[in-house]
Amino acid sequence: MKDFAAIDFETANNERSSVCSVGIVIVRNGEIVDSFYSLISPEPNYYNYWCSQVHGLTREDTEDAPVFPEVWKQIEPLIEGLPLVAHNSPFDESCLKAVFRVYQMDYPDYPFYDTLSVSRQTLPELENHQLYTVAAACGYQLDHHHHALADAEACAWIAREIL
């Protein structure tokens, strides 16, 4: 796959609609050509302890952040016509569908590809198939795991290698 958009969401709580940050990396002809990152005011707007422990974001970080529809207006033209790729895509796809539902937006049925499931098939020798492990096997050092843009970039590197 030479043209795609790698996407990663972080959530504020256990509700899939509570996206609080998004990272997007655009790949064309096998090269990273653009990226986008934004904090998002989550819906519902509360953070649980465990999610904050994972990504480090709190309510104070997203207090003045835009709501999802405003952020998506910036993303939509970047990803137009591109399939979406995520590591553990069922999570990211479910987040995207949930937040579209919450804001009563028409979901365009984006095609999603999953680097996690493909990595299990193509790299069975790895000790695990977590994002940072698979990224390292594909030549990418993931230094800021659970930062949405860093995770999207790692996913893009993996996708270029194994999809």
Q: Can you state the percent helix, strand and coil of the chain, rounding each to 5? A: 40, 20, 40
Strands ordered across the beta sheet of 19-28: 31-39, 19-28, 4-11, 84-86, 112-114
CA angle 9, 61, 69 (to 5 degrees): 50
Query: What domain range is 27 assigned to?
Result: 4-162
**Please, which residues bridge with residue 4 across strands?**
27
Say how many domains are in the chain.
Answer: 1
**All residues at 6 or more sequence positions from 52 whose CB lies less than 8 Å from its CB, including other chains:** 12, 58
For the chain, give me the number of helices (H) and strands (E)? 7, 5
Would you say 56 and 146 are in contact if contact means Cβ atoms under 8 Å apart?
A: yes
pLDDT of residue 136: 96
Instruction: Convert the pLDDT of each residue in 84-128 to its tens digit.
Output: 999 999 999 999 999 999 999 999 999 999 999 999 999 999 999
CA angle 124, 55, 122 (to 5 degrees): 10
The pLDDT-based confidence of 129 (bands split at 50, 70, 90) is very high
Instruction: Convert the pLDDT of each residue in 139-154 to its tens digit.
Output: 999 999 999 999 999 9
How far is C-alpha 71 from the chain's CA centre? 14
Find the CATH number of the domain harbouring 55: 3.30.420.10
Instruction: Convert the pLDDT of each residue in 34-76 to its tens digit.
Output: 999 999 999 999 999 999 999 999 999 999 999 999 999 999 9
pTM for this prediction: 0.96
